[in-house]
Amino acid sequence: MKRVKQALALGLAAALLVALFAGCSKKESGGSTSGGSGENSVTTISFWHLFSGSEAEMLQAVVDRFNEENPDIFVEVLEGTTDEKQLVAISGGSPHDVGQLIDTSFSSMVNAGMVTQLDGYLADAGIDPQNFHPAALELNMQDGKQYGVPFTMDSFLLFYNKDILEELGETEPPRTIGELQDLAWRATQLDDSGDYQRIGMIPDWPWIDVMNLPFHFGGDFYDFETGTVTANSPENVAVLSFKASLYNEPYDRDRLIKFRSGFGQYQSAENPFFQGKVAFTIEGEWYPTFIEQFAPELNYGVASIPYPDGQEELRDVCRLQTAVLYIPENSKNKEEAFRFLSYLVSDEAQLDFNLAKGGLPVTDSALHSDRIAQEAPHLEPFVELVNAGVVKAFPAVPFAKEYADTLYTTEENIYLQGIDPQEAMDDVVRKIQPLADDWNND
Amino acid sequence: MNGSKTAGRERAPKKYSAARGQKRLALAFMLPWVLGFLAFSLYPILSTLYYSFTEYNLFQPPSFTGWSNYAKIFSDERFYKSLSNSLYFVIVGVPLELAVALGTAIMLNWKVRGRAVFRTLYYLPSLVPPVAGALVWVWLLNPQYGLVNGLLRMLNLPEPLWLSSAMWSKPAIILIVLWGIGSTMIVYLAGIGDIPPEYYEAIAIDGGGAWSRFRNITWPMLTPVTLFQLINAVIFGFNIFTQSYVVMLSTGERGNAATSGGVQNSLLFYAVNIYQEGFKYLRFGYASALAVLMLVMILILTAVIFGTSKKWVYYGGE
């Protein structure tokens, strides 16, 4: 009897163990071929991107067409991922097959060897790299090798509320930083209790964008020739002095923070610019699409980003940011992944997606397509800027992310603690230069 | 166990093998846990220790760098910032947690009508997933439209900027954690239930009031439970991550350089910093060194708490 009990107990324990490990067994991800019958087997590949909401739906439509046209491949989409999620998937050994990221998060992944080099694939497929916007392409290169291709690009302009401007008796948007400063203050309104009702411009809304002005002040972030981090250049310090001026006297910092904390969601009708609570904002080419969607009545205008007084030559500076497509180094379906990737940068897919969402296509041929004027005329000033402007971008260095994060915290400290911009930026250099040195000495 | 060994030797071999069978059986029952512990606890801890001596980006093979990760820690501003944030949380938050949980438990032990309902209500928040709870609190604490400030406004009290201010963000997180205090409270409630009613009868005869009942009976009888809760809360305090991470996700947008440390890194807790070093900056070796250091610090703190426990923990009857 005892024996039986023992045997039973052991059996149960074993069953438990089996159950435990069955639960942990690695699921077969990607690479699985279904259909089985051989002749019409389908390879499923996964595509992870950052878009969400309506933009994700528009991208899905483009993916659906690929799936229709390519019966041997099925692309499974995961929307709204983050770069951390993509990173973990790759390093955990169950990667997606095609990924999309913002360029600043990309270079550290390249540096860690996580990304497939694409030069050979591009050549085999007969895709001419020259057809990509050169600055955008360069952001996805390292040591002269191509690791990703741009998927969409962003350029930026000043958006202003025409009604508010009119109310102030102005007809023209501000051309210089001085004019912007003046108009922003005049556009600001308080209610009876002294709380803000409307603000001209708020430097850390919708987020702190450490890259939106330095190029327009003639500054830069990194000197590739000397390997120097240039965060503390006079131009960059001037940017921060200007931004801080929108938080300092005569503004009331605490009340401003309170006002800002009540702002609604960026991608919604509660966006304070759409509601006329903010008069000026620097935004990218996607913004008109949002306005059309959430605030079709808004009377707004688009103008060049103001330049520092007396430096008109800086008017046509274009800050560029790209979304990059890449194939993880350990993807099991690289051939299929590349076929999908090259579809995404074909003129047809580029125009379909970008004109729907309000984005800039990345290829020269698409950028010069007539479809832009016909289907999305609001994109034209942005296209003009990337085609003709002096294009600048945050450097694609492996420490880009940490550099940007440090700039972000620094800017926050300048607004909230009133730290001196020069001192703060010297401190940034002190922190980031060692990372640059490490990289250069490798 | 000691006794059975010698006993087995003296008696018949059959009895001896039965004892061995019992042992085997015990082992078989322990096996799933032991395997789980080896695979999911010990192995990760040991590999963390190993990686802490390497430079490792999670993808390429690690390269051994000796003590350099540890040397770097002490000149790293983010380390000090995150350590002080976590210490703030532990020093301010943990005593508050225990006090609130104990106070609530005592009140829920009062014999009032609908006691079961109150107990359920107070326990309920701890069943809400931390992410969902934090998301709700982000809105409750919104300085402009949040309910909390709405209430303060009605009472003409100052309205803090909560998660939008470096000064108030940690108190805000402590508030969120206090809301989910249910499981700590339940343990106290059970502890109170275990106190023999004779003690209270005795003090009632001696004419002791409510404070004297608490001071002389409830508190001493609950000190063993408090010791357990204190250690748990300190460990949990050093591991706090979710709330800070959720706050970041609800404020950062569009793949921008939103930092996960809250305003001016005021919510960059130790565990958040480890996560960022690893998954954001791809420095897994360094992140591992930080984790090992945290383990050591928690071990020391736990040892210290145990050391002092002789002075204040009362085990009834000893």
Low-confidence winner among A8-17, A148-157, B33-42, B252-261 (lowest mean pLDDT): B252-261
Evaluate the omega torsion of the peptide bond into residue A206 and state whether it is cis, within 30 degrees of 0.
yes
Cα B173 from Cα B240, distance rounded (Å): 10
Comparing CA positions, the residue from B265, B270, B264, B266 lying closest to residue B241 is: B270
**What's the whole-number mean pLDDT along residues A239-267?**
88
**What's the whole-number mean pLDDT along residues A153-176?**
95
Interface touch B59/A329, C-beta < 8 Å = yes
Chain B residues within 8 A of A254 when measuring between CB atoms: 161
What is the ipTM, given to two decimal places? 0.76
pLDDT(A53) > 90: no
Q: Who wins on pLDDT, A74 or B9?
A: A74
Q: Which of B145, B256, B265 sits opposite A209 (nearest CB)?
A: B256
pLDDT at B255: 39
Low-confidence winner among A255-259, B5-9, B144-148 (lowest mean pLDDT): B5-9
- Are the C-beta atoms of residues A110 and A147 closer than 8 Å to each other? yes
Residues 311-370 of A with CB under 8 A from B: 329
pLDDT at B16: 63
Taking the Cβ of residue B62 and every Cβ of chain A, the question of whether any pair is shorter than 8 Å is answered with no
Q: Which residue of A has its CA nearest to B262?
A: A409
Cα A357 from Cα A110, distance rounded (Å): 28
**What's the whole-number mean pLDDT along residues A178-193?**
94
pLDDT at A2: 53
pLDDT at A104: 85
Chain A residues within 8 A of B254 when measuring between CB atoms: 206-207, 266
The pTM for the full model equals 0.81
Interface touch B255/A83, C-beta < 8 Å = yes
pLDDT at B257: 38
